[in-house]
Structure 1
Amino acid sequence: MARFVCQQVPLVSEKTSEEITPIVVDGIDEEPVVGNARQFSGKFLIIASVLSAFYAAFHMAALNGLSIGDWTGVTIPLLPRFPMETWNFRIVHVAGALLLGFMLFASVRFSETDGSDMRPNPLVRGLSWLLLLPALFAVGAAAWFGTLIEGGVMWNGMDATLKSREIYLYGIPLMVATVGAIGLSWVERLPRHAFSVTDLVLGICGIAVATYLIVMFGTLMRNSTGTPFAPIGISIAALAGTLLILELTRRVAGLALVIISVVFLIYVFTGQYLPGFLNSPAISWERFFSQVYTDAGILGPTTAVSSTYIILFIIFAAFLSASKVGDYFVNFAFAVAGRARGGPAKVSIFASGLMGMINGTSAGNVVATGSLTIPLMKKVGYPKKTAGAVEAAASTGGQIMPPIMGAGAFIMAEITGIPYQDIAIAAIIPAVLYFACVYLMVDFEAVKLGMRGMRSDELPKLPEMLKKVFLFLPIVILIVALFQGYSVIRAGTLATISAAVVSWLTPYRMNLKSIYKAFENAGQMSIQIIVVCACAGIIVGVISLTGVGARFSNLLLGLAETSQLLALFFAMCIAILLGMGMPTTAAYAVAASVVAPGLVNLGIPQLTAHFFVFYYAVLSAITPPVALASYAAAGISGANPIETSVTSFKIGLAAFVVPFMFFYNGALLMQGTWLEVAHVFVTAMLGVYLLAAAVQGWLFGQVNPYLRAVVGIGALAMIAGGWLSDAIGLGIMALAFAVQRGYLTPKNAARGAD
């Protein structure tokens, strides 16, 4: 579990003054143990540990073009030399995640007693061992096909003999093993520490899929996919691979993304019967699945990013964890912000923003940092729903915080072709506005409830924290390297190495054992996001192959003829809807495929269109009714999930307004002169201040309902960014200030008349 160490809970309300020792945070960035995660011991623990560490280290070596032969001058035949061919690398990337994922995550949640009460069913165990035979046979058949191709056989889907071999020697054994093992896994019940033969079968099926696709690589590259010349085995392998991805996604990310994916898959074969813009041409299963496991789908942009940038920054995060930098972030936030009124909530904003920027998942960050900050907020007087909502909003905000943006910046660069530096710079002002809004919401809530900050003796000492400021060096090196023009991979690698180096200046020196442990943790941490990206690739493939994205663009164009604002509002709703239940990366990838092209066709600049989509895909994590980050926070705070999600929606309200500002004023994305950028930044900040005052009903005191409505109008006027609207907003702000300060009371008015 994510853990923290406190000598005593360092919390006091304004009405108490008990002596409490300072906070010392430890292990805040360790990964929590989820309900269906296995915890092996003995030889299975060693196997899982070695495979996890090798998986992460393999990616680090592959991304940097290294191999054992490069280091020793000796070529070892069974080990790959780098850099690998792109498609092969992505295929291995997904297959490795499937093998690890099925090993580490059971099909069902374990009981509270860690599953030790479960006993294996002899029938299920026996059938599992039987299914191991066709799975291994499929791997062998795929490898044999490779020898035939090397021997000069021209493999294609028009040869009846070759087609029969693929179906009977490869396809049927693979599908029997895949479908049978998935079905058995749903009824299998084992202790948490036990090894599952059923899941071993599923992992081997993943290897069989990868083996076939790699040996058929030349055929794939000859553009035979989607044509009658495509070997039937490609379609069968892709079908099995899709089933495996969906099953592992269900285990590590829940049913939401699986249901959405299945709906899209059903659409492929039923779209021909639907009316209007949903109508699509008839597509056979062979044609669809021969294409979906290519760069048009599963191996497309989502896997491209997860196999490079995401896995790299997960390794970076694991090294930061091993060097205790994550703990330092939180302790530093306590030292800086803990004295402010409602201190723990403001600590949550800073700490969760920093951690969420790196780890790339809102809900995961809530569980990690929220295990400390949410109880602290409750202790100082925040209602349960507010405590959870603040953490959810702050963790979600980390996904829009440059320079990493939870890997979102790199995905956007991959999809749009816009340089990473331009994207990171464009994200600065919107991120500042978002966190300013969250901070003000928290501050107004604290002053309404009469809270105070935490005492100096309850907090880490700022001078002591400043002595360790060098622990920020890995982040600084990352930012500098990126803006110096280094590639993302090289910059991330340098930052990872620096995380190990700075640890030598602390009591937590990273030696070979801790480096190995960091790679092991990275391999296990990466499974969820990798399989989710692969699953999102299925949806992207459906959108690409059915043409529904283009038809959606036409629908937006039709709406824009009536009202461009209506078209944008509709695009916002679709982006949020598509993002519900998904991690940020998958949510953005899917929404970018459906919504962004339509916005570009409206004449909106590509950067603006993708930021619009990205923001709402991220905000789906705090948008009712399916708000993953809010639900995770509610689980910790003990509040009602729906109430928590509504409150987090309110706290993050500025982010729902900001994307419309992109459209009306590109200076918000640094698209303009410095004067224009400065103007929009200052007025937008004032608008955010008024927005927080209107939502919380506090502006130098309680605000009556009528004035709140007026202040809200002033906020929207200021946020719009035009000179006339700014003048209106400033006038309303001056009026509200005068009313709240009592300058317009009858007594003062009479005094002015005298």
Structure 2
Amino acid sequence: MSHTPDTRPGHDDEAVGSVTESVAEGVDEEVVESNRRLYKGWQLILFAVLAIVYSTFHLVSLNVFPMETWSFRIVHIAGALILGYGLYAGTRFADDSRGTASPWLTWVSYALLLPALYALMQVFLMQRDIADGAMRIAPHVEAWHYGYPLILASSAAILLSWGYRQVRQKLSPPDLVLMVCSLAVAGYLVVIYNTPLRASTGTSFAPMGISYAAIAGSLLILELTRRVAGLALVVISAIFLLYVFVGPYLPGFLGYPGLSVGRFFSQVYTDAGILGPTTAVSSTYIILFIIFAAFLQASKVGDYFVNFAFAAAGRARGGPAKVAIFASGLMGMINGTSAGNVVSTGSLTIPLMKKVGYPGRSAGAIEAAASTGGQIMPPIMGAGAFIMAEITGIPYTEIAVAAVIPAILYFVSIYFMVDLEAARKGMRGMRKEEIPLFSKLAKQVYLFAPIIILIVALFMGYSVIRAGTLATASAAVVSWISPNKMGIRAILRALQLAGTMSIQIIAVCACAGLIVGVISLTGVGARFSSLLLGLAGFSQLLALFFAMCISILLGMGMPTTAAYAVAASVVAPGLINIGIQPLVAHFFVFYFAVVSAITPPVALASYAAAGISGDNAMGTSVASFKVGLAAFIVPFMFFYSPAMLLEGSWLQILRVGVTATLGIVLLAAAVQAWFFGPVKAWMRVVMLIGALCMIYGGIYTDIAGLVIGAALFLLQRGRHGGGAQPAASSG
């Protein structure tokens, strides 16, 4: 999926110098992807209404009229599929009406509407039969009148959509077929799962119609995921699905007894798979916080966050880079995707970083690393905290509190990487006339109120749903005393925006649920756990390193939520089996799933930043790996020093927090070859040893690290005084 960040207003480099009241404009504007349709007229109104109804349905179901759990999740996925196929095309758009698909493709596409509509009609007839007292539907009716027409229409329409080029303002016929198929899948499952037949899933007594619906539903989820999140997750899902049927023939620990097509698919569209933990989280917490983020965007809070960051940090050396750290942390905390965060804030901060002397590669790397860090920033942590709470059963507030010290360490690390690079290259900050007046922005500090209300409500014991709803309502109320008041139209616009924004994350969570289903139904996760247990017999560090590599590999090219959900199913149980506490194990996996966004060779956040900076994508991903290096060390601290996650006495926590922070500063100095002045090669080696000693967290290693750090500090201060002039200035 490609973004077009340059189309938004307010990002003109030349105009920045004359702006004194506001640097950031358009941060809150919706980013329109290259394969997203831009409707006009009645179609625009229709899809706007559908998105508003979809968002409102969740608010009402979560707070006022709760639905039966499985039915709610099925409708949640179906709504995203219908909106997704309506808004996202399966191939590039035609430049004009002459480049559109040939008439025979159109006729074939419309012909596929017949089996799709026939399958949908059968759902209503089945529902009527069951209401009249039928115990189950005749197998030949499920096969010939529902299953085969549905699978034919779904698979053929997906194939046609890959080659059906349409102008950007029109819905293509294959996608209309896919929208009808999505309705037919959801309708059948809701009807059957509200009867005693629901208990038969996974047995030989399960109606085959469930398997037909699950096959079609899986195809629809995979295709929508390809459109909104790229091929990486789809390829991984396809490999896992292939394993279900190839696994019995594989040697060693990968082999398993095998599952038939009917038995597997009758279970995969239940809470053992697609309707499991990932969809449970996306249908409650994630959708709610997307609505919250949409309300913040509608009231222009994103612009305020970025301007506040400029006012607070813009004049420091390398100012725009420090602004990127601050602003990306704030924005990434609420928007839930590393690459999306890069696009929203990076289109402003990257050009400004280049203006004060950062090379394009460094500017992109800093933005990518900072945006990725937003995913580990409590209290929201993208969506990872909610999935972790769902999987582990650990209270959400406990997870959010445990994340505080690691998040501080990560952002301290990036800050000093940036600061020391700026010192080494002699970069300036922004001039006074280039940044907003802090005094004026301070008068609007009440715009932080919705986030403060959210945090306070969570720690007062309110449920996450109630706290999120309260924060969303407060965003609208706070806007009434701000320059961007939200009336009825703005509230409807926010609900529409939320419906549209949610499509990607819901598709990704459903697709991750497919993988989780394969893992749970085939038992491959348990066999992986035994492999880790065997490795731990030689060395726990080796087992942790292996777990790190698998978590990063599973996360490559995938959005954070899906990356963590899959890694938590495969890797975390193995870590728990070798004696690691569940909270530590899940944080370990979560961190590496997050930093896969800046890990070469497939680094989504780095690639998005490279697209804005104009630099080489692979070079930017290597540079962002270097800037975010602390994130690859901190998770090992969770194991060797659980006090990092607030597990232990306050004295232990304080000692570990302080020494680890000092170690992170030394690590940044070693990487950037600058402390109070240039650092020689032997000193960098000593610095690295001192940094690792303090990061390790043991009492004796802390003392050794502090001695090394103090000696280097005195040596550098004596040699360079209060600071050295850089050898060459690039500012």
Range of TM-score over shorter length: over 0.9
Contact (CA 8 Å) 1:116, 1:192: kept in 2 or not?
Answer: no
The 1:476–1:20 alpha-carbon spacing in structure 2 relative to 1, beyond 3 Å, is closer
Q: Which residue of 1 aligns with 2:102?
A: 121
SS in 2 for 1:377: helix
Structure 2 counterpart of 1:481: 457
Report what 1:740 is aligned to: 716
Structure 1 residues 395-449: Cα deviation after superposition (integer angstroms, max 9, x where no partner): 1000000000012111111111000111010000000000000000000111111
Taking a change above 3 Å as real, the CA distance of residues 272 and 456 of structure 1, as seen in their structure-2 partners, is same
Match of 2:371 in 1: 395
Task: Find 1:9's aligned residue among 5, 11, 14.
Answer: 14
Cα drift, residue 119 of structure 1: 2.2
2:100–2:164 contact (8 Å) kept in structure 1: no
How far off is 1:282 after superposition? 1.5
Shift of 1:29: 2.5
* Structure 1: distance between partners of 2:19 and 2:305: 22
What is the rounded CA distance, in whole Å, between the counterparts of 1:538 and 1:694 in structure 2?
43
Match of 1:509 among 485, 489, 492: 485
Paired residues for 1:60-459 under 5 Å: 60-65=59-64, 82-110=65-93, 118-155=99-136, 162-219=138-195, 222-459=198-435
Q: Does 1:547 align with 2:523?
A: yes
What is the letter of the counterpart of residue 5 of structure 1?
G
Superposition pairs for residues 443-592 of structure 1, below 5 Å?
Answer: 443-592=419-568
Aligned-residue offset at 1:31:
2.5
CA contact (8 A) 1:29 1:369 kept: no
CA shift, 1:744, in A, is 12
Pairing 1:634–2:610 present: yes
Is the 1:363–1:632 Cα contact (8 Å) retained in structure 2? yes
Q: CA deviation at 1:582?
A: 1.0
Identical positions, percent:
66
Correspondence for 1:72: none
Q: Which runs of 5+ in 2 are unaligned?
A: 722-731
Contact 1:10 1:21 (C-alpha < 8 Å) held by counterparts: no
Aligned residues: 716
Measured in 1, the distance between the counterparts of 2:387 and 2:603 equals 22
Structure 2: which amino acid aligns with 1:304?
Answer: A
Q: Distance in 1 between matches of 2:21 and 2:398?
A: 42
Which amino acid in the other structure matches residue 341 of structure 2?
N
Normalised to the residue count of structure 1, the TM-score between the two structures is: 0.93
- Displacement of 1:477 after TM fit? 0.3
Greater shift, 356-365 or 116-125, is seen at: 116-125
CA contact (8 A) 1:337 1:346 kept: yes
Q: Deviations over 1:369-411 (max 9, x none)?
A: 1110111111111111110011100110000000000121111
State how far apart, in whole Å, the 2-side matches of 1:516 and 1:20 are: 32
Alignment-mate amino acid for residue 106 of structure 1 = A
Deviation digits for residues 349-374 of structure 1 (CA, Å, limit 9, x no counterpart): 01011000001000011111111011
User: What is the letter of the counterpart of residue 29 of structure 1?
Assistant: D
Deviations for 1:227-278, whole angstroms, at most 9, x for unmatched residues?
A: 1100000001000000000011111111000000000000000001111111
| Alpha-carbon distance in 1 for matches of 2:299, 2:503 | 22
Q: CA deviation at 1:738?
A: 3.2
Structure 1 residue 120: Cα displacement: 3.3
Q: Deviations over 1:675-696 (max 9, x none)?
A: 1110001000000000000111
Q: Deviations over 1:610-648 (max 9, x none)?
A: 000100000100001110000000011011111111111
| SS of match in other structure, 1:405 | coil
The one-letter amino acid paired with 1:38 is R
Shift of residue 25, structure 1, vs aligned partner = 1.6
Task: Say whether 1:39 aligns with 2:15.
Answer: no
Deviations 1:685-738 (A, max 9, x none): 000000000111111111111111110111000101111101111121123223
What is the rounded CA distance, in whole Å, between the counterparts of 1:655 and 1:535 in structure 2? 27
Deviation of residue 63 (structure 1)?
A: 0.8
RMSD: 1.5
Partner of 1:752: none
Q: Aligned partners of 1:21 and 1:600: how far apart in 2?
A: 54
Q: Could you report, residue by residue, the CA deviation over 1:139-175 in whole angstroms, capped at 9, with x for unpaired residues?
A: 111221122122222227xxxxx11110000011101
Cα distance in 1 for residues equivalent to 2:79 and 2:18: 52
Q: Do the aligned residues in 2 keep the contact of 1:392 with 1:629 (CA within 8 Å)?
A: yes
8 Å contact 1:7–1:24 — kept in the other structure? no
CA contact (8 A) 1:8 1:21 kept: no
Question: Is the Cα–Cα contact under 8 Å of residues 6 and 22 in structure 1 kept in the other structure?
Answer: no
Q: Is 1:48 the counterpart of 2:47 in the alignment?
A: yes
Q: Distance in 1 between matches of 2:635 and 2:668?
A: 17
Structure 1 Cα separation of the partners of residues 38 and 194 of structure 2:
41
Q: Counterpart in 1 of 2:701?
A: 725
Q: Structure 1's 8 and 395: CA in aligned 2 closer, same or farther, altered over 3 A?
A: closer
Unaligned runs of 5+ in 1: 12-17, 66-81, 157-161, 746-754
Shift of 1:22: 5.8
**For 1:83, what is the secondary structure of its paired residue?**
coil
Letter matched to residue 133 of structure 1 = L
In structure 2, how many angstroms separate the alpha carbons of the residues matched to 1:336 and 1:610?
A: 34
Instruction: Give the Cα separation in 2 of the matches to 1:220 and 1:661.
Output: 49
Query: Where does 1:570-719 land on structure 2 (aligned, <5 Å)?
Result: 570-719=546-695
Letter of the 2:700 partner, please give it. Answer: L
Does structure 2 conserve the Cα–Cα contact (< 8 Å) formed by 1:268 and 1:542? yes
**How far, CA to CA, are the matches of 2:70 and 2:400 in structure 1?**
28
In 2, the alpha carbon distance for the partners of 1:342 and 1:263 equals 45
Aligned-partner Cα distance in 1 for 2:124–2:391? 34
SS class of match (1:228): coil
